Structure 1
Amino acid sequence: MLIVLNFSCFSPDHKSDADAGLQDTALVNRLNLKAYAHWSSFPDSTMILGRRALALSDSIRYRTGKIDAFRNLGIGAYEKGMYSEAIAYYNQAISIATEEDDHGRKAKILSNLAMPYIALGVHTEALKQLNLAIELADSYHLPLIKAHAIHNMGMVYHYQHKDDNAILYYRESLRLYESLGDSSRSTFILGNIGHLYLHKNDLQHAKELYDQSLNLAEKNKNYKAIGNALQSLGSLYMEKKDWDHALSYYLKAKATLESTGEQTEYLRLLDNLATCYLRMDHVDAAIRYSELCYELAKQNKQLYYIQSAANRLGTMLEKNQELSRAIFFYKEYKSASDSLYSADNKEQLVRNEEEFKFKKQQNELESLYRAKVLRRNYILLVATVLIVSLLVIAVLLVKNVKDKRKANEALRNTNEFIEEQHALLEESDNFKKSLLALVTHDVRAPINNLNRILMLIRDGLVPPEEIKKLLSYNSEEFDSTINLIENLLLWVNQHLHASDLVISEFDVMDIFRQIHGIYIKRLEEKKIKLLMECDEGLKALADAEVVMIILRNLVDNAIKFCKPDNQITLRAAVNDQNNRITFSVIDTGVGMSRQVQENLSTVTEPVSHRGTKNEKGYGIGLQLCRYYLGLSHSELLIESRQGQGSIFRFELDRSTDGRHIQDIRSLRVPGQM
């Protein structure tokens, strides 16, 4: 693993731009310094502080602050493995630095820009940027920046496995830094040269360099460098298969890095420890450290270490026959690999380069255009006065005509609205009459039955063994009546009050589990299976109570028209075409004929239907579903074949803040028949 030098090549020149206040620019400078201080340990903090500095620089027109902010964003993106985004940020910083003739910052950022190109394997472009940085450094006497760029030249050849070339550039960089009295970089450069000798299998030379690196780090009390040198020595002894020494150095490095809070080097250490234990055939320890590495890498979104740890865990767990976990980690490995090296990254890279070139050309054209505009301003001013006078006259004439048209249009719209409301009132009145007739009969009947049973029990006319049978016989009818009353109350509330949805984020699987809890008894009584299929961690953005009402009515309907051993599936999955969540209630029940489906789509009155156990249905639930889906900007779609089952589906918005993992699982509810 290479050690990346991302140091500031010189102290920022915190001069204020002409239009910026001293107090505001000082705040921007402090934000940029804090952002830079966190780049290695906490790259997320670097990006958060960089965005704050950028926003404030924009508001006060502080272009120097913008350059530093974009550079910090590029550094943070690079550390998180977001290489295309890093290139875009660096290019924006370079563009402003070019306009401001800030050659020092431009040279420094050109050297930084090479790093994501190296990570993406675009070595030719990396060398191009580094050569430009060295030319600027030579022209404007910037030796620290030159040393940094030469070091990064060594990294290009290091990645290309051209060890001798890489060693030459590293040693030249080391010489320049030390000639300037800067030994803070030396420990890392010595470590990188040691890696090259280790790769050449020159273990003795590698150890000498690692020892020099450690001694220098201890002298400077640079604990991050101490941790790095210790684990480099651990890697050396691991190559020798001297496990005791290897583990000793690794564990010392672990204690040192834990005291610093350093994240990136600590991830590398966990990765090395897992590899060491695996080579020693200590599989349990290898799994433990791989899991620690994976979890920390996920927290920090470090794609390289997610890829490494997930691949190792998948291999080890597969050998342990823990196949489901192995599959999970293989998927994580593939996802991280695709993010790091996919064609999309390279295409995005090309787009970023083209965008940068386009903006550069656009800036040049704008400069020419502004010069021409200055010469034409006087002529345009005179022409504008004349045109405005004519326009005022024309506007007054047009306004008079438009006012008359608007009055006529408003009158026509009012008449149409009145006619529409009249039709809706008639339709609503007919529905209420039909509903009243249906409810009068179907609510009165079970209450009368219960009253008769209670009278018989009171008078002692029913033997005790018959009481349970009578109550059981009437319980299903009461369940249906209760469901009718609940839907009826919702329907009445809908017509009496304006419905305001309470939009919030909720976990879809939590809703599914609540639905199962409501209907588990009926499912067991009818011997129906309920499956739940949902993208793990999927979150929707809607009114959770309304979604419960819709799903409860659809599942209730599905249970009603299923026979024993039939199956109901609750499914939620992301529609890739519009990024919304598609909810489906699928049953293998009796299904519907085409005529019944057409009647459902045009129903304006409650219609009673009997289920497979003679359960009652009224059509109110379906009306409620359509009403609430309309408020949620959705619609209910129905597919069915008689004798094969039915599918009811609708779509809702997906929460964009929640994390989404493409890992669809089919879950059978425990304890279900």
Structure 2
Amino acid sequence: MAYAYNNMGNIYDNMGDYQAALRNYQKALEIYSSENNKIGLVRAYINISIVYNKTGRSSEAENLLNKAIIIGKETGEERLLAVAYGNIGLMFDNSGNYHKALEYYKLSLDIKEKMGDRHSIMISEINIATTYLKMGQVEPALNHVTHAITIGRELDAKRELIDAYSVQALLLEKKGDFRNAYIALTNKTTLNDSIFGKEQIKNLAEVDKKNEINQLESENQILRQQSIIDQLKLENNRFIRYYLLIGLSFAIVLIGLLIYQSGERRKNSRRLDEVNKQLLKTNKQLKRSESDLAESNRAKDKFFSIISHDLRNPLASMVSFVRIMKRDYATLEQHERDALIDEFEKIVNRTGTLLENLLMWSRSQTGRLNISPEKFIARSILDENTELNETLLRAKEIGLVIDTDKDHAEVFADKNMINTVVRNLLSNAIKFTSPGGIIEVGYKVNNNDCVYFVKDNGVGIDPDKTDTLFSLGEVYVRTGTANEKGSGLGLVLCKEFVEKNNGKIWLESKPGEGTTFYFSVPLVS
């Protein structure tokens, strides 16, 4: 029975229903405790601590993990002990205490190496490399992530290899080895492409399953409320019959019984009113759920449209380019070959951006995109994205100006998400700015927020289209000044990422004069 409760807790945890997950884990804990099943206790402590950590109860999570470690040492359960050390390391990592995080990550790694669990060793190596990266220690980080990649290739662990290549690319970039950094990113993209189709089918199935569960729970709640009403009606009728029969025999007692009956009726009436209010509330929730489901279906339809249209077209174009190069390479002039290669590069870059946005959006919709806020210099992401888009800026002869309020201002947000937002906004500005134009990027400090902006003097946006820019159900897709294509998903992703980091996004635009996008993120307290 404890095993069943534990599995139910895992299911609710994966669905994001942490209260239901805790209830099942607590029941499993009670059974393990009554049976004095120490291994079961360790497993239950670890599962509960994971939910506590997700819901902001980090101190309670740490206490449970310490209990799990003590029992794990007594029982000699090496695997669970390694998991407990790894989770404590993750808590210290999230809180910014990287030295303590490394200490526990390495304890976990030592146990896994003794066990010979190579898949778990790979995960620990990636965690250690990521922590060294946050500390700015590039060389030890490279050693660990290289070991992780070696194991991942042997095991064909594609998902873990994607994370490892991401870390390796960042480290090589910091080291200045841009060629190998590009190779790492290419390996990551290749793996993403290989699992993309399966991932989307699984995500959509999870969304459908969650909607079905929500609908069943709502229907069950209505049935329970209706049962209460029927029961109250039966009780009311029973009281009436009982008191009338007594009244026929005892006329003197009738007055007292009628008074009592009146009081009961008032109570039942109040209870019925409460039940009716609850029913009205439930009906509103059902209507809201129906609206959410319709919006989810529209988003899913748009998602399929992007995959079938915006992804198929560039792939077809790439196939055509390859056929032309293969068939006519010997007869083409050099400038014709160069033109074909340049156009092919644009299609590949656009397809890569679309795939990355699609993957991040799908992970966000299924709740598997974790938010990891951290302190970082506000200007750093502007410099990174300016350098990343330098080739595109030169190609269209567009000037770029960085205007910052305070160069050393620090923000507290998920750096990867904010980097994605800036990358998408800057890419759009380049796309819709004519050759020879100017783009301004920067930020201003406003009370407790850092307000970023990306301003261009391009084609601008029609006022009646601004309300649909951030909605996936009604995407407004335009062609750039050099016929660049887009899917409209980038701005949807920007809005979601900014709001997940407690910020807002908006824009100001005049057709023919240009557009300025703004978004805010919290400053470090």
- Name the larger-Rg structure: 1
TM-score bracket for this pair, using the shorter chain length: 0.3 to 0.5
TM-score by length of 2: 0.45
TM-score by length of 1: 0.36
